[in-house]
């Protein structure tokens, strides 16, 4: 089955929000009914929800209120609308795609009597330690420990885990053959530890991960079980496969999400056509909503984050030079719009972006200037001019006001060659941003809105808050 997850999700979002009618009235968009699914299919859905962090229950295939609520939460966050059959299809496709891309495989641990799934492509060699063994991800952000204990040692282990949780005050779930403790460590990492009674005593698995690897930790945790593994296979002739096939056919009929407006006439602006190998900047306005300039993603064979993760185009308006993308996984930090506030002449603003990415380094740059004119080229009122220095690579970045809100979308700087030819002088720091009101209207027309929460408002003059560098990211045109 082809892994067209990003295009599928974009098409589903378009249909759900009324941007296309390719699936109108189709049973695929009926409310999800787990009844026709067998235990293996329901367990696969539960595993996918557990990996996404939405389902903390047992992976037993028994579809109850907890499973229903988890699917509703995932659908609201990732697609919008009600939990229907299309959402279940998108969930499974996304999960299996992540599993395939991450090199996941199951292991029955010799001498422990338990099995689990591991992202083997990311893990280094097994390192023995007293009473067990340790696995590290190569970047050090995911830890997997396995140990053999007797009953008293197991109770002591979970007691120590409770104390290690500090302010999170984790509690241990204790059953005759199972103990589970989870929480947050004092250094901010999440942890999960599970002990299962086996024929030879107790086998314990301990996991710890930074925020970026929370999903991977959830997936390992969800897979742990005594005895041989239960693989994440999709039954080839089951009801869930039929739902996925029908939903994929709708996505194919829906085609690409349409561009909203004709091509930009650049005038005095620099060329707006991206080329393979070029870079720009994007910023999050929700867990998976990424905004950039339309010219950053024009003519790209593939749009990606710096780690290579694919970004999918939801909508673009070359006339406004704005585009919105769907990210492959949710983030915890995003920016807020300025809520209809107009730029004021002389107002202090800050431009965040990645100028000359990889040439001048890969760190986020933040520069400061002022709103220098309340209109763009040819007095276009949809744009305004600002003086914060920007360079190639800044396009698509946010222009931030003193409250940390997005006042504009950085789209261009005045072409030096054009002005030198016309006047014989070299322009300095004449740059252009799309006004926040125009950006908000574009997002509304695309059926996408800025999400509440995120970083909220903050005093940027006191320095960028923690999480700001995760909310503004490089966008690569491949």
Are residues 194 and 283 located together in one domain of the fold?
Answer: no
Q: Does residue 269 lie within any of the structural domains?
A: no
Q: Is the pTM of this model over 0.85?
A: no
Write out the two tokens for 153: 């040692």
Are residues 286 and 406 located together in one domain of the fold?
Answer: yes
Q: Does residue 263 lie within any of the structural domains?
A: no
Tell me the C-alpha distance between 478 and 476, whole Å: 6
Q: Does residue 270 lie within any of the structural domains?
A: no
> Per-residue pLDDT for the chain (478 aa), expressed as one digit of tens each?
223 334 445 444 444 433 334 444 567 778 899 999 998 899 899 988 988 888 877 788 899 999 999 999 888 877 766 788 888 888 888 788 777 767 888 889 988 999 998 988 888 888 988 888 999 887 778 899 999 999 999 999 998 888 876 545 567 888 999 999 988 887 788 899 999 998 888 999 999 998 778 878 888 988 898 999 887 778 878 888 888 888 777 665 544 433 333 333 333 333 344 444 578 999 999 888 999 999 999 888 889 998 888 999 999 998 899 999 999 888 888 999 998 888 999 999 999 999 888 676 788 999 999 999 998 877 889 999 998 888 888 899 999 999 999 999 998 865 444 333 433 443 446 788 999 999 999 998 888 878 888 888 889 888 889 889 999 999 998 8
Q: What does R_g of the chain's alpha carbons equal in angstroms?
A: 25
First-to-last C-alpha distance (Å) of the chain: 25
Are residues 345 and 445 located together in one domain of the fold?
Answer: yes
Amino acid 202: pLDDT: 95
Are residues 221 and 237 located together in one domain of the fold?
Answer: no
Are residues 298 and 388 located together in one domain of the fold?
Answer: yes
* CATH number of the structural domain spanning residue 443: 2.40.10.120
Amino acid 252: pLDDT: 57
Alpha carbon of residue 98 to chain centroid: 12
Are residues 49 and 155 located together in one domain of the fold?
Answer: no
Q: Does residue 105 lie within any of the structural domains?
A: no
Quick count: other Cβ atoms within 10 Å of Cβ 276? 11
Are residues 201 and 184 located together in one domain of the fold?
Answer: yes
Amino acid 419: pLDDT: 35
Which structural domain, as residue segments, surrounds residue 327?
Answer: 279-477
Are residues 246 and 334 located together in one domain of the fold?
Answer: no
Tell me the C-alpha distance between 181 and 194, whole Å: 7
Write out the two tokens for 14: 């378009």
Amino acid 57: pLDDT: 78
Q: Does residue 109 lie within any of the structural domains?
A: no
What residue has token string 């940027």? 460
CB contact at 8 A, 272 and 321:
yes
Q: Does residue 465 lie within any of the structural domains?
A: yes
Are residues 155 and 92 located together in one domain of the fold?
Answer: no
Tell me the C-alpha distance between 109 and 126, whole Å: 12
Are residues 428 and 340 located together in one domain of the fold?
Answer: yes
E strand intervals along 170-321 = 172-175, 178-184, 190-198, 201-209, 225-226, 279-284, 289-292, 303-304, 310-317
Tell me the C-alpha distance between 327 and 316, whole Å: 15
Are residues 438 and 295 located together in one domain of the fold?
Answer: yes
Amino acid 420: pLDDT: 34
CB contact at 8 A, 385 and 432:
yes
Are residues 27 and 124 located together in one domain of the fold?
Answer: no
- What angle, rounded to 10 degrees, do the helices at 85-101 and 5-16 form? 160
Amino acid 165: pLDDT: 67
Count the residues in the chain: 478
Amino acid 15: pLDDT: 44
Q: Does residue 292 lie within any of the structural domains?
A: yes
Q: Does residue 188 lie within any of the structural domains?
A: yes
What is the count of structural domains for the chain?
3
């Amino acid at each position: 089955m082809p892994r067209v997850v990003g295009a599928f999700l974009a098409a589903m979002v378009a249909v759900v929000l009324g941007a296309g009618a390719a699936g109108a009235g189709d049973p695929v968009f009926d409310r999800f009914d787990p009844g026709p699914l067998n235990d293996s299919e329901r367990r696969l859905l539960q595993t996918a929800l557990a990996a996404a962090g939405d389902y903390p229950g047992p992976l037993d295939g028994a579809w109850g209120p907890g499973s229903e609520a988890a699917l509703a939460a995932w659908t609201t966050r990732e697609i919008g609308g009600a939990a229907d059959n299309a959402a279940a299809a998108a969930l499974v496709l996304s999960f299996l795609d992540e599993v395939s891309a991450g090199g996941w495989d199951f292991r029955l641990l010799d001498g422990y009597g338990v099995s689990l799934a591991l992202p083997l492509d990311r893990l280094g060699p097994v390192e023995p330690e007293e009473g067990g063994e340790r696995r590290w991800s190569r970047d050090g952000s995911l830890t997997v420990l396995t140990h053999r204990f007797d009953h008293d040692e197991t109770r002591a282990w979970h007691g120590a885990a409770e104390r290690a949780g500090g302010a999170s005050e984790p509690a241990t779930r204790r059953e005759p053959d199972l103990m589970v403790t989870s929480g947050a460590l004092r250094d901010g990492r999440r942890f999960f530890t599970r002990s299962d009674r086996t024929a030879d005593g107790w086998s314990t698995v301990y996991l710890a991960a930074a925020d970026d690897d929370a999903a991977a930790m959830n997936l390992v945790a969800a897979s742990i079980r005594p005895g041989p593994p239960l693989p994440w296979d999709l039954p080839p002739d089951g009801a869930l496969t039929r739902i996925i096939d029908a939903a994929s056919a709708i996505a194919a009929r829906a085609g690409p999400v349409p561009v909203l407006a004709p091509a930009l006439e650049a005038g005095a602006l620099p060329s707006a056509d991206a080329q393979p190998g070029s870079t720009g900047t994007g910023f999050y306005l929700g867990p998976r909503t990424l905004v950039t300039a339309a010219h950053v993603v024009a003519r790209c064979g593939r749009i990606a984050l710096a780690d290579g993760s694919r970004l999918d185009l939801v909508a673009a308006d070359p006339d406004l030079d704005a585009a919105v993308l769907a990210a492959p996984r949710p983030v915890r930090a995003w920016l807020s719009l300025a809520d209809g506030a107009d730029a004021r002449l002389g107002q202090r603003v800050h431009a965040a972006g990645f100028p000359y990415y990889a040439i001048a380094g890969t760190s986020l740059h933040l520069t400061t200037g002022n709103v220098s004119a309340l209109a763009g080229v040819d007095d276009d009122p949809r744009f305004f001019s600002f003086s914060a220095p920007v360079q190639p690579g800044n396009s698509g970045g946010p222009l931030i006001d003193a409250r940390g809100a997005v006042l504009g979308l950085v789209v261009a700087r005045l072409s030096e060659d054009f002005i030198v030819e016309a006047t014989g002088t070299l322009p300095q720091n004449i740059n252009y941003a799309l006004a926040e009101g125009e950006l908000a209207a574009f997002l509304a027309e695309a059926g996408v809105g800025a999400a509440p929460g995120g970083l909220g408002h903050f005093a940027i003059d006191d320095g960028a808050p923690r999480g700001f560098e995760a909310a503004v990211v490089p966008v690569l045109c491949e």
